[in-house]
Amino acid sequence: MRKEFAHDELMMPGHLACQGCGGTIIMKHALRAVGPDAVCVIPACCWTIISGNFPYSALNVPVLHTAFATSGAAASGVRAGLDMQGKHDTKVLAFAGDGGTFDIGIQSLSGAAERNEDIIYICYDNEAYMNTGVQRSSATPERAWTTTTPVTHPKSGAKKNMIQILAGHKVPYCATANIAFPDDLYRKVRNAAEIKGTCFIHVLSPCPSGWKIPSEKAIEVSRLATHSKVFPIYEVYHGEEYKITMEPDEIPVSDYLKSQGRFRHLKEEDMDFIQERVDYEWKILLQRSMMEPFHMNF
């Protein structure tokens, strides 16, 4: 079946991504959904490299490269500048890694979200600082290997829940998405483009070299993340109305964990622990999705 896209391809050949890079696939779908009347804001991350070095650009939209911590603020500044020229329809797309979103950039993202700036913020989450060589971030999953969480003391503590943080800002739209379900990803970005205010989309982004998986397995591994409920796919409207948009097959988390070298050191009891955690989080999500949103009652 040929898929109908709203817009032509805006990501050009010649980009500098590694084979199997999830971040590249996310950008491709995102730009087809947002369209050419857009400005893309990119902080320091793998996409600094992927987009091409001076004087080249792999994207057919204008790109503002900005400092690591500033995606939320820079996107707000672009929005303000465009609005002052009457260009209210031009979309502003911030495209940042997990480090630039969960860690160093969380303050400026929170500022933008609290002001409800009319921007789309996509976090491509490869669960570590990949650009600088696979160091842990607060998005790194519990007990995973990275170069700063070696197998002798792997990542401790749960992955930060960014959607919950953004939902806490009561932004009009938050969602998670996965490149293994491109129709869903595409629809969510389209949705965000239609909504006025801050829209935040958190997309799992497999990184073959950082996750230690073969590049041709990137999409397969991503699919396992959602079907094992490790990375559930859902939406949150106004911080209150939760909608699960992909029914997981509920496969064991060990199927997901065993597919990647970064979890190779895990023992049975580690996997049992992770299974417990995943089941618990899933229960919370199910409960939330069954709650009546506040704004519908009042």
Partner 1 sequence: MKKVLMGNHAASWGVQLSRVKMISAYPITPQTHIVEELSEMCGDGSLDARFLKVESEHSAMASVIASQATGVRSFTASSSNGLALMHELLHWAAGARLPIVMVNVNRALAPGWNIWADQGDSLSQRDTGWIQIYVEDNQEVLDSVIQGYRIAESVDLPVMICYDAFFLSHTYEPVDIPSYDEVDAWLPPYTPTNHLDPEKPKSFYPLVMPDNYMEIKYKFQQAHEQAIGVIDEVGQSFGTSFDRYYGVVEAVQCEDADIILVTSGTITSPARLVLEEMRQKGEKVGLLKMRTFRPFPVKAVQQALNGAKKAIVVDRNCSWGKGGIFADEIKSAMSNTTDAPMIYSYIAGLGGRSITPDDIRGLIEEAIESDSPSSESVWKGLKL
Ligand X SMILES: Cc1ncc(C[n+]2csc(CCOP(=O)(O)OP(=O)(O)O)c2C)c(N)n1
Half-sphere exposure of 197 (CA within 13 A, CB side): 15
Q: How far is the CB of 253 from ligand X (least distance, A)?
A: 23
Q: How far is the CB of 28 from Mg ion (least distance, A)?
A: 18
Q: How far is the CB of 160 from ligand X (least distance, A)?
A: 12
Q: How far is the CB of 175 from ligand X (least distance, A)?
A: 19
Q: Which of 10, 4, 97, 86 is nearest to 46 (CA)?
A: 97
With beta carbons less than 8 A apart as the criterion, state whether 245 and 235 touch. Answer: yes
**One-letter-per-residue 3-state SS of 119-152:** CEEEEEECCCECCCCCECCCCCCCCCCCCCCCCC
Among 20, 22, 99, 141, binds ligand X (CB under 6 A): 99
Stretch that binds ligand X, among 54-62, 92-100, 110-118, 166-174 (CB under 6 A): 92-100
**Under rule CB under 6 A, residue 97 binds ligand X:** yes
Q: How far is the CB of 168 from partner 1 (least distance, A)?
A: 15
Cα–Cα distance, 254 to 274 (Å, whole number): 9
- Token representation of residue 286: 């199910």
78-107 positions binding Mg ion, by CB under 5 A: 97-98
Burial of 209 (0-12, 13-18, 19+ CB in 10 A): middle
Residues of the shown chain interacting with partner 1 in the complex, contacts defined by CB under 8 A: 36-39, 41, 48-49, 51-57, 59-67, 69-70, 72-78, 80-85, 90, 107-108, 110-111, 114-115
Q: Which does 66 bind (CB under 5 to 8 A by kind): partner 1, Mg ion, ligand X, none?
A: partner 1
Q: Which does 110 bind (CB under 5 to 8 A by kind): Mg ion, ligand X, partner 1, none?
A: partner 1
Sign of CA dihedral 207, 209, 210, 211: positive
Residues 6+ apart with CB under 8 A from 1: none
Q: Which does 251 bind (CB under 5 to 8 A by kind): Mg ion, partner 1, ligand X, none?
A: none
Tokens 């609290």 sit on residue:
114
| Residues in contact with Mg ion by the rule CB under 5 A | 97-98, 126, 130
| Residues in contact with ligand X by the rule CB under 6 A | 44-46, 68, 97-100, 126, 129-132, 137
